[in-house]
Protein backbone atom coordinates (compact mmCIF):
# COMPACT_ATOMS: atom_id res chain seq x y z
CA UNK A 1 0.00 0.00 0.00
CA UNK A 2 2.88 2.36 0.72
CA UNK A 3 4.11 2.10 -2.86
CA UNK A 4 0.77 3.38 -4.11
CA UNK A 5 0.97 6.48 -1.96
CA UNK A 6 4.65 7.23 -2.47
CA UNK A 7 5.55 9.93 -4.95
CA UNK A 8 8.35 7.95 -6.52
CA UNK A 9 6.03 5.19 -7.72
CA UNK A 10 3.88 7.69 -9.59
CA UNK A 11 6.77 9.91 -10.73
CA UNK A 12 8.70 7.00 -12.21
CA UNK A 13 5.53 5.36 -13.52
CA UNK A 14 6.74 2.06 -12.07
CA UNK A 15 3.58 0.66 -10.56
CA UNK A 16 3.81 -3.08 -10.21
CA UNK A 17 1.01 -5.46 -11.10
CA UNK A 18 0.07 -5.75 -7.41
CA UNK A 19 -0.10 -1.97 -7.09
CA UNK A 20 -2.47 -1.78 -10.04
CA UNK A 21 -4.62 -4.53 -8.54
CA UNK A 22 -4.74 -2.66 -5.23
CA UNK A 23 -5.80 0.54 -6.99
CA UNK A 24 -8.55 -1.36 -8.82
CA UNK A 25 -9.77 -2.93 -5.59
CA UNK A 26 -9.88 0.49 -3.92
CA UNK A 27 -11.91 1.93 -6.80
CA UNK A 28 -14.34 -0.99 -6.79
CA UNK A 29 -14.68 -0.81 -3.00
CA UNK A 30 -15.50 2.91 -3.17
CA UNK A 31 -18.19 2.25 -5.78
CA UNK A 32 -19.68 -0.55 -3.66
CA UNK A 33 -19.68 1.66 -0.56
CA UNK A 34 -21.39 4.45 -2.49
CA UNK A 35 -24.10 2.10 -3.75
CA UNK A 36 -24.58 0.62 -0.27
CA UNK A 37 -24.96 4.10 1.19
CA UNK A 38 -27.58 4.84 -1.44
CA UNK A 39 -29.52 1.66 -0.70
CA UNK A 40 -29.23 1.58 3.09
CA UNK A 41 -28.86 5.26 4.01
CA UNK A 42 -30.85 7.23 1.43
CA UNK A 43 -30.87 10.26 3.71
CA UNK A 44 -27.24 10.93 2.80
CA UNK A 45 -28.22 11.57 -0.83
CA UNK A 46 -31.57 13.15 0.00
CA UNK A 47 -29.76 15.86 1.97
CA UNK A 48 -27.91 16.76 -1.23
CA UNK A 49 -31.10 16.85 -3.29
CA UNK A 50 -30.47 13.62 -5.20
CA UNK A 51 -33.54 11.46 -5.64
CA UNK A 52 -33.34 7.67 -5.70
CA UNK A 53 -34.42 7.68 -9.35
CA UNK A 54 -31.56 10.03 -10.28
CA UNK A 55 -29.07 7.80 -8.46
CA UNK A 56 -30.43 4.69 -10.20
CA UNK A 57 -30.16 6.42 -13.56
CA UNK A 58 -26.58 7.49 -12.82
CA UNK A 59 -25.55 3.96 -11.82
CA UNK A 60 -27.23 2.53 -14.93
CA UNK A 61 -25.45 5.04 -17.18
CA UNK A 62 -22.04 4.29 -15.67
CA UNK A 63 -22.51 0.52 -15.98
CA UNK A 64 -23.78 0.91 -19.56
CA UNK A 65 -20.81 3.07 -20.58
CA UNK A 66 -18.28 0.75 -18.95
CA UNK A 67 -19.82 -2.35 -20.60
CA UNK A 68 -20.00 -0.66 -24.01
CA UNK A 69 -16.46 0.70 -24.02
CA UNK A 70 -14.97 -2.50 -22.61
CA UNK A 71 -16.92 -4.59 -25.12
CA UNK A 72 -15.77 -2.44 -28.01
CA UNK A 73 -12.14 -2.75 -26.90
CA UNK A 74 -12.52 -6.53 -26.55
CA UNK A 75 -13.99 -6.74 -30.05
CA UNK A 76 -11.20 -4.67 -31.60
CA UNK A 77 -8.51 -6.59 -29.72
CA UNK A 78 -10.12 -9.91 -30.65
CA UNK A 79 -10.20 -9.01 -34.34
CA UNK A 80 -6.54 -7.94 -34.33
CA UNK A 81 -5.44 -11.02 -32.37
CA UNK A 82 -7.40 -13.30 -34.68
CA UNK A 83 -5.86 -11.72 -37.77
CA UNK A 84 -2.35 -12.12 -36.35
CA UNK A 85 -2.91 -15.69 -35.18
CA UNK A 86 -4.53 -16.63 -38.51
CA UNK A 87 -1.52 -15.27 -40.38
CA UNK A 88 0.79 -17.30 -38.12
CA UNK A 89 -1.46 -20.39 -38.37
CA UNK A 90 -1.63 -20.64 -34.57
CA UNK A 91 -4.76 -22.63 -33.70
CA UNK A 92 -4.86 -22.11 -29.90
CA UNK A 93 -4.30 -18.38 -30.31
CA UNK A 94 -7.18 -18.27 -32.79
CA UNK A 95 -9.47 -19.88 -30.23
CA UNK A 96 -8.44 -17.35 -27.59
CA UNK A 97 -9.04 -14.51 -30.03
CA UNK A 98 -12.51 -15.85 -30.89
CA UNK A 99 -13.35 -16.10 -27.17
CA UNK A 100 -12.22 -12.49 -26.67
CA UNK A 101 -14.36 -11.44 -29.63
CA UNK A 102 -17.37 -13.31 -28.21
CA UNK A 103 -16.86 -11.67 -24.81
CA UNK A 104 -16.82 -8.26 -26.46
CA UNK A 105 -20.05 -9.02 -28.33
CA UNK A 106 -21.75 -10.10 -25.08
CA UNK A 107 -20.61 -6.92 -23.31
CA UNK A 108 -21.86 -4.70 -26.13
CA UNK A 109 -25.17 -6.59 -26.14
CA UNK A 110 -25.42 -6.05 -22.39
CA UNK A 111 -24.74 -2.34 -22.85
CA UNK A 112 -27.56 -2.18 -25.42
CA UNK A 113 -29.97 -4.20 -23.29
CA UNK A 114 -29.38 -2.53 -19.91
CA UNK A 115 -31.13 0.79 -20.65
CA UNK A 116 -34.23 -1.11 -21.76
CA UNK A 117 -34.51 -3.12 -18.54
CA UNK A 118 -36.53 -1.34 -15.88
CA UNK A 119 -36.35 -1.97 -12.16
CA UNK A 120 -39.82 -3.54 -12.28
CA UNK A 121 -38.50 -6.11 -14.75
CA UNK A 122 -35.72 -7.09 -12.34
CA UNK A 123 -38.22 -7.61 -9.54
CA UNK A 124 -40.25 -9.96 -11.73
CA UNK A 125 -37.25 -12.27 -12.13
CA UNK A 126 -36.42 -12.46 -8.43
pLDDT of residue 104: 94
Cβ-based neighbours of 63, under 8 Å, separated by 6 or more: 114
pLDDT tier at 69, thresholds 50, 70, 90: very high
pTM score of the predicted model: 0.60
Q: What are the boundaries of each domain within the chain? A: 1-50, 51-126
pLDDT at 114 over 60: yes
pLDDT of residue 100: 93
For residues 19-48, give the mean pLDDT. Answer: 76
Mean pLDDT of the chain: 79
Amino acid sequence: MNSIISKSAFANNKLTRNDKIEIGVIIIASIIISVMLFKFAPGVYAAQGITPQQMDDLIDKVITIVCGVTGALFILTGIVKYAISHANEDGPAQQKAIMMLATGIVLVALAIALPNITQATWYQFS
